[in-house]
Amino acid sequence: MRQDLIASRFRSSRRTFLKAGVAGSAALLLLRQVHAGAAAPEASRDVLPSGARAVFAAIVPILLDGALPAGSECPVAVAQTLAAIEAAIAGLPPAARAELAELFSLLGFAPTRCLVAGVWSPWPAASAESVGAFLDRWRDSRFALLRSAYEALHQIVFAAWYAQPRAWPAIGYPGPPSIPSS
């Protein structure tokens, strides 16, 4: 039954995304032209561009819904996860960082954010529903490019959260054993 639900959503989102995909590709091309003209060097690889930070701040609570702690611990956990994401991206090779920079340009540029991600408000103002819908659409998109972008966000965020010892009690992972030194 669940499969049918997914299949029907696949079909309806396919129609939307056929249009959005074509428009989005055009926008992406345009964006690349703009970027090629202003190829600024990376400011600092240790600091995420503010656009990327805003996207992660919006998607982390949605991707990790049900995993993040409740109450006052939640903002701390989100902040630590964002810091871990920043460090992880800084540790990637230049080609992978460049691919991510392209993705965040796309998500940070209002016209492509609306057309390709379907998020109509700037990221800090976007509702949980619209961010969730964006992630669902990219995950289930008929376009491999959008599925791969979802997969990249998925991998970065889940690795950043579950690498932290604070995530372990909830999943019954005791952490590594202690090894007496030789």
Closer of 64 and 111 to other proteins (Cβ): 64
* Dist CA 155 CA 178 (whole Å): 28
Closer of 120 and 173 to other proteins (Cβ): 173
Residue 86 is encoded by which pair of tokens? 């920043």
- H or E element that contains 78: helix 73-90
Q: Report whether 150 contacts 135 (CB < 8 A).
A: yes
* Dist CA 167 CA 158 (whole Å): 10
Secondary structure class of 182 (helix, strand, coil)? coil
At its nearest, how many Å lie between other proteins and the CB of residue 63?
4
At its nearest, how many Å lie between other proteins and the CB of residue 107?
17
Using CB under 8 A as the criterion, which residues of the chain lie in contact with other proteins when the complex forms? 2-3, 6, 62-67, 84, 88, 90-96, 132, 135, 139-140, 144, 147-148, 151-152, 154-155, 158-159, 161-164, 167-168, 170-173, 176-177, 179-182
* Dist CA 31 CA 39 (whole Å): 12
Closer of 50 and 164 to other proteins (Cβ): 164
Closer of 71 and 172 to other proteins (Cβ): 172
